[in-house]
Every structure is written in C-alpha cells, then in structure tokens.
Structure 1
Amino acid sequence: MRTDDQPIRISLFAPNGRMGIAIAAAVAEDPGFEIDADHGDVLVDFSAPSALQASLDRAIAAGTPILVGTTGLDDFASRRIATAAEQVPVLRAANTSLGVALLSDLVERAARVLGPQWDIEILEMHHRMKADAPSGTALALGDAAARGREAKMKAERGRDGTNLKREEGAIGFASLRGGTVAGDHDVIFAGPEERLILSHRAENRMIFARGALAAARFLVGKPAGLYSMRDVIGADEA
C-alpha cells in the first residue's frame, strides 16, 4: 500500500501511443509521479475503442482505478464503462485538459442562462491523423450545453445539401481536419443580433498529459464509481 509521501505510480495501457509518450514525458517532469508498467496505482488508457474491454478487465482484475481517455466510443462502450465503474473508480474524459473541463462548465452555464432561443453551434479542428469526427470533446461540450438546457441533445452533424433549415433546439457540429492542430474548439451561441463564443485552443499535447496526471491524482483513494474531469476541477475548488 502506498503512503502519501510516495509518488503515484502510473501504468500506461498504450505506452507507445501519442498520449502515452506525452504522459511519460509529463511524469518525468513531476516528482509526484512515476511510471510502473505492471503495478500502477492508476491505469491510464488512451488507446482505441477496440482495446477498451481489455483495459477495463485489467483494472478490475487488479482493483485499480482507471482513466479512460479513448474517444470514438459508442453506446455499448459507455455501458461497459458504467458496469466497470460498479467495481473500480473509472474516470472517463474525452479531453483531459483542465481548460476544457472549465470550458464545459461555462458552456453549461451559458446554455442555462441563454435558453433555447439561442442557437448553439460547435466548431472543432484537429490534426490530419484524427480518425473520429466530431471530436469526443466537441460531443462532450454538446452534452454540457444540453444539460444546461435540461434537454436531450439533438445533434446536427456535417450539414451538406439542401433543405437544411435548423431544427428547433438542435446543436450543430462542424469538423475541420488538417496539419498538426492539437485541438481547437469553439462553442457559438447565436442569439438575436448578437453572438457569444466560448473557445479553447490546445497549443501542445502536453496540456492533456498534465491534465491526465491531475485526474490520476484525483482517482487515488476514490471509491468505485464513474467520474469526470468536472469532478477533478471541482475537487480543486473544494
């Protein structure tokens, strides 16, 4: 059993992926963490949807908290995560940036205050290699807006063609891909004769790695359950 003065041990489920390499670099800069491939205090999974069950099974078998940062997950994956969370602490995050976690909170508040009379559009841009669209972060921001409206999200994705008049209460998504963009997100609230735009720009993948370490620190000692980055920034405020 670890003590509070010992580094938090991180096991990387996909150590050779982009995020695995970035997290290892962040750990090297922070004496409060160390990499332990086999006996981590927290398992971190930024792999692929097809590998999700294997990472959840590993966490459950070891009784280890797990951070799931994989995007592009479907409803079946969500159910598997919820089932795992009955046995171990699971933090699911489409984006581990602390700035994006705060943005999500602001989007929810704005949607609640502005109401359904304001249209919501979400624009995201990522590097040319990103495989899923809209990004998991964009969809999470849409969920935040829907929570603010106290309504189920009605998504309009990738409009193309004719007769595309906006549905009442819909949240629109547009995706751009190119270059080496780490991640740009704009949430546009368009009202009568005015617009409010809430934005986040990721300048380097290291912001996600440092956020992942903050999430890992949060998970240590937590009871079984499903958590989010909202819980992480909420803990910092407490």
Structure 2
Amino acid sequence: MLKIALSGCNGRMGHVITDIVGQKKDMEIVAGFDINTEKQADFPVYADPFEFKGECDVIIDFSNASSTEHLLAYCEQHHTPIVICTTGHSAEQLQNIRAASAKFPVFRSGNMSIGINLLMDLLRKSASVLGENYDVEIIEKHHNQKLDAPSGTALMLADAVADALPYDAEYVYDRHERREKRPAHEIGISAIRGGTIVGEHSVMFCGRDEIIEIKHTALSREVFAVGAVDAAAFMAGCTQPGMYDMSDVIAAHGN
C-alpha cells in the first residue's frame, strides 16, 4: 500500500486528489498538511509537517510556494520523495528546489496534465520546423482566484518553444508601454483571469497569411490530480536523488 502525505489537503486540488486516491486500492493518504487543520477526510491534518510522526512513501504538494522550503526540510530529514505541483516560485526558491534534488528525489512540473506535457513535444517540433518565419504568441486563461501570472504552464510552453528556435527569444509579458513594431525574436505571453476557468493555453505560430494554433483546454481539475497521483506512484519507487518531471512519468508508462 502506497502511503501518501498531502500538502494543501484542504484546498481545491487537495480535495480532488483525496477523492481520486480514495478510489484506489493500492494507495492511501495517511496525513494532510494545511494551515487549515480542520479534518475533512479520513486522515489527520497538521499545520506543520514535522508534527506528523508516522511514515509516508511520498509527499504531494499542492499548497503555496511559501510552504515549499519547509516541506523540503522535512523531506531531507526523512529522505522522502516529493511531488511539487505548486507554482509561482521565485528564482531563489527554484534554485533551492534544484539544490534539494541533489539530496533526495524531487519531482516538479508547472502542469501535471499528461496532455500538456505531450503538447510540449508538439511545440518543440513545430518551432524547429517553422523557425524564424513565424511570430510566437501564448495566451493563457485561468479562474479569478489564481495568484500567479503568467501561469507556470505558460512559461513551460514558452521554454519548450524557445529551446527549439534558432534564436534567443525574449519573453514579453506586457506591451502597453511599447510604442514600436513587434520585434521578430519575441515570444509574447498574455494572461487572462476570470470566472471559474480551469485552465486554457493556446500557442500561436503567426506567419504570412496563416496562423497555426495549438491549444489545450482542461475541463476539470481532475486532469491535474490524476497526473499528480501518477507522479506520486512513480516517485515512490525512486531511490536516487535527482530532479524528475512528467517526461519521466510518460516514459515509464511507455515501458
């Protein structure tokens, strides 16, 4: 039986993950970590991970970027793999995550959807073929409660495109002060926040007289929860320190 500790257990994604794990016969949530310590499911909830004295095989983190370093300290002490699904980390926090991966297994992805991660492969292929002849624009849409903008997923997609372009791309998030024609080597990234949009990402390759648009729409949060649970199952079997992501999970599914 795979034992999972869930950070952010009383949040929206925490509830979805709790429901999905509850339908599995080979895994269970043994503890939750949350600033709201109300017990809302069949496991204890702690404000501080170090209050948990039991054992777990892996931690799923869907909380807040401000909680990450404390979770990393817990994982280092107990040598517990962690699946970091939280986004909005600063450059310093990302550096600390990478440093932690030298000590124990760390999984991090800006988006837990398998579909999004397959989309990244399509974008690399498209960018390598279309090259300098197409302008690249990314539009992402999320609900009005999302804290970070642009989304971690939008940045993942931009990185996938930039890796395959024949030039060093400049990410441009705001053009309202730019009174000039669009430079050729930009990747424009726009964020929309409204209503209850779960998540929508569009990448447009705009050329002369044609537009190629690649789009992913999440219709429920379950797609992210399923990916997180799959990643947790994968990470529980990882004994070597290192930085892992969804490409490792997809490769494991293919074997």
TM-score of the aligned structures, taking structure 1 as reference length: 0.93
Identity over aligned pairs, percent: 40
Residues 132 and 166 of structure 2 are in contact (CA less than 8 Å); yes or no, is this contact kept in structure 1? Answer: no
Quote the residue 2:13 is aligned against: 19
Q: Does 1:61 align with 2:61?
A: no
Q: Deviations over 1:156-214 (max 9, x none)?
A: 10321451422222110111111101100001111222111111111111111001011
Letter in 1 for 2:207: G
- The range that moved more, 129-138 or 216-225, is 216-225
Letter in 2 for 1:237: G
Quote the residue 2:38 is aligned against: none
Of the three residues 14, 22, 35, the one matched with 2:29 is 35
Distance 2:167 2:76 in 1: 34
Q: Deviations over 1:121-153 (max 9, x none)?
A: 110100011111111100110011111226554
Distance 1:151 1:128 in 2: 35
TM-superposed CA distance for 1:39, in Å, is: 2.0
Quote the residue 2:244 is aligned against: 227
Quote the residue 1:202 is aligned against: 218
TM-superposed CA distance for 1:33, in Å, is: 1.8
Distance 1:213 1:124 in 2: 24
Distance 2:69 2:186 in 1: 33
Q: Closer, same or farther in 2 for the Cα pair 1:20/1:150, shift >3 Å?
A: farther
Letter in 2 for 1:20: G
Distance 2:194 2:224 in 1: 20
TM-score of the aligned structures, taking structure 2 as reference length: 0.87
Q: Does 1:211 align with 2:205?
A: no
User: Structure 1 runs of 4+ off > 3 angstroms?
Assistant: 150-153
* SS of residue matched to 1:116: helix
Unpaired segments ≥5 residues, structure 1: 1-6
Unpaired segments ≥5 residues, structure 2: 32-53
Q: Closer, same or farther in 2 for the Cα pair 1:68/1:151, shift >3 Å?
A: farther
The structure having more radius of gyration, on CA atoms, is 2
Distance 2:169 2:60 in 1: 29
Quote the residue 2:49 is aligned against: none
TM-superposed CA distance for 1:63, in Å, is: 0.6
RMSD between aligned residues: 1.4
Residues 143 and 153 of structure 1 are in contact (CA less than 8 Å); yes or no, is this contact kept in structure 2? Answer: no
Q: Closer, same or farther in 2 for the Cα pair 1:30/1:164, shift >3 Å?
A: farther
> Superposition pairs for residues 178-189 of structure 1, below 5 Å?
178-189=194-205
Of the three residues 112, 121, 137, the one matched with 1:96 is 112
TM-superposed CA distance for 1:221, in Å, is: 2.1
Distance 2:169 2:19 in 1: 37
Q: Closer, same or farther in 2 for the Cα pair 1:34/1:89, shift >3 Å?
A: same
